[in-house]
């Protein structure tokens, strides 16, 4: 019997977004990314020195399948700050590089 119920999976995702001010849905873990894009996103986030939660979508197939429908973003990684999608790897790297992500992370941390 499948335990995947789209509405319950969506509820889990929405709970994760509510409970974690900064969360990265990625392939692998921050210490062992399993794709180059996730690795680049983690490296950029680590440069900020700010904490972030993560979900390894390779270990959570129902979330991996459902999240793109919730976020309207087709690929991983996906970074959310205060429940809002920021974007994927290229956007994360660019925003860390130009300094525009730091104020968002600091504001999320203060909550």
Mind listing the pLDDT tens digit for each residue in 6-24?
789 999 999 999 999 999 9
Q: How confident is the model over 25-78, as pLDDT tens digits?
A: 999 999 999 999 999 999 999 999 999 999 999 999 999 999 999 999 999 999
Domain that holds residue 71: 6-105
| CB proximity list for 84: less than 8 A, separation 6 or greater | none
Within a domain: 40 = yes
Within a domain: 11 = yes
Instruction: Examine the pLDDT at 100 and tell me if it is beyond 50.
Output: yes
Within a domain: 1 = no
Q: Provide the number of structural domains found in the chain.
A: 1
| Number of helices followed by number of strands (H, E) in the chain | 5, 6
CATH number, domain with residue 30: 3.40.30.10
Instruction: Examine the pLDDT at 93 and tell me if it is beyond 60.
Output: yes
């Amino acid at each position: 019997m499948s335990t995947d119920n789209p509405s319950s999976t969506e509820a889990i995702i929405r709970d994760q977004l509510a409970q974690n001010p900064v969360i990265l849905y990625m392939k692998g873990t921050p210490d062992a990314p399993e794709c180059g894009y996730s690795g680049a996103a983690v490296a950029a986030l680590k440069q900020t020195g700010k904490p972030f939660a993560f979900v390894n979508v390779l270990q959570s197939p129902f979330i991996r399948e459902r999240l793109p429908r919730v976020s309207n973003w087709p690929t991983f990684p996906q970074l959310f700050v205060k429940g809002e999608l920021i974007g994927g790897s290229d956007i994360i790297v660019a925003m860390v590089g130009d300094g525009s992500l730091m104020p968002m992370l600091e504001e999320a941390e203060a909550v």
